[in-house]
Amino acid sequence: MTLLEEMLEEIKDLSVDEQIKQVCDTIADEEEVNTDHPDMLPVGPNIFLAIEVPSRLKSENSLAFVTLERETPGNYIIRTWESRLSASSLKVVTSEDVKFSDPKRIMKTYATKVKFMKGVKS
């Protein structure tokens, strides 16, 4: 059983949104040490997780984040945000619907996007 499966098994009685939120909070705590620009993290009531990834801009003065966001209860989107370090705001450059309602598949879809942006082979 994977770590994700173990986590979800412990909270299986919660709603999908609560399960996703708890898993994302755990991941966010673990990823904190890997975030070079915590002051730039996208935040909001429906942004459940934001992970810093290499920017597509290929400049030392740029950064990017991949977020998992709740669009409506039970519906999620994955967005890529980018900015130059000299700018004070981030811009959404990609947005894709997560076509699953199962917490495990939602998190795996997000992980696949993060791995892709980091250049990690699955």
pLDDT digits (tens, 9 = 90+) for 10-40: 999 999 999 999 999 999 999 999 899 999 9
The tens digit of pLDDT for each residue in 43-98 reads: 999 999 999 999 887 767 889 999 999 999 999 999 999 998 877 789 999 999 99
Q: How many separate domains does the chain show?
A: 1
pTM (whole model) above 0.85: yes
**Per-residue pLDDT, 79:** 97
> Is residue 51 packed enough to be buried (19+ CB in 10 Å), middle (13-18) or exposed (0-12)?
buried
* 30-46 as b/e: b if 16+ CB within 10 A: eeeeebeeeebbbeeee
In this predicted structure, the answer to whether residue 122 has a pLDDT above a threshold of 90 is: no
Domain of 43, in residue numbers: 3-118
